[in-house]
A = this chain, B = another copy of it.
Amino acid sequence: MFIGAQVSLYPMTSDFVGVIETGLEGLSPYREKLRIETDDMSTLMVGAPEPLLDAIRDLFAAAARRPEHVTMHVTLSRGCPGEPDDPSCRCETLTEAQHLPLATRQTRALEAVAAAPETGVTIDVQFSLYVLGQDGHMDEIYGCIDFLKSSGTFLKAKNFCTRLRGDAGAVFETLRQAFLRFGPAEGHVTIDLTASANSPSLS
């Protein structure tokens, strides 16, 4: 299994370098646990979903604690057949999920969101979950949407994606559960995710 993300932070300010540096301070505690490589368009992070999603959450929360409007784009992937196996990506939630019926996975996902830490930073997210390489992928998508609607972070459905709003702790736990608990445990699952904070056009 290979699990990782391509992450880009977009501060809507002329001091975008300053905001990115603030975000990177949030990322510091995770540098030992993840493989992190940056180029001019995004930062690759590879590792298990626990530090991976925590790192992305804390990167964005640190940037969002500043007053400037900031957004982030993340492409999350697990089980891509084109990527090599990486022992550092091992994940017990995935191993467990493989044998559980959909209803049980939904319950476990809700428990995890309820137990999420509070960051004190409210964020908006919109994302799409893609379950690849199998027939009947929409059954898992609809099962995930049911979970999202009960998660406490659901805002609304949109064409092609779902809107979440809430504390960054609960929102990123919702994303982690969607990523891990739906679609086959050994399958290829991706998330296309945009986060936003401090938007002047917040509806």
Contact = CB atoms under 8 A, between A and B. Distances in A.
Interface of A: 4-6, 8, 10-17, 39-42, 44, 46, 69, 71, 73, 75, 77, 80-83, 124, 126, 128, 130-138, 141, 158-161, 163, 188, 190, 192, 194, 196, 199-203
Contact of A12 (B12, B40, B75, B83): B12
Contacts of A190: 128, 130, 160, 192
Nearest to A137: B133
Contacts of A128: 75, 190, 192
B6 A44 contact: no
Contacts of A130: 130, 132, 190
27 contacts: A6-B126, A6-B159, A6-B161, A8-B194, A10-B71, A11-B12, A12-B14, A12-B16, A13-B13, A13-B16, A14-B14, A40-B196, A41-B196, A42-B126, A42-B158, A44-B158, A46-B159, A73-B194, A75-B161, A82-B141, A83-B159, A128-B192, A131-B132, A132-B132, A133-B137, A133-B138, A135-B135
A197 B17 CA distance: 16
Contacts of A194: 8, 41-42, 73
A173 B167 CA distance: 39
A135 B138 contact: no
A138 B15 CA distance: 41
Contacts of A12: 10-14, 16
Contacts of A134: 133-135
Nearest to A10: B10
Nearest to A201: B40
Most interface-central of A71, A159, A202 (chain B CB within 10 A) = A159
Contacts of A132: 130-132, 137
Nearest to A192: B192
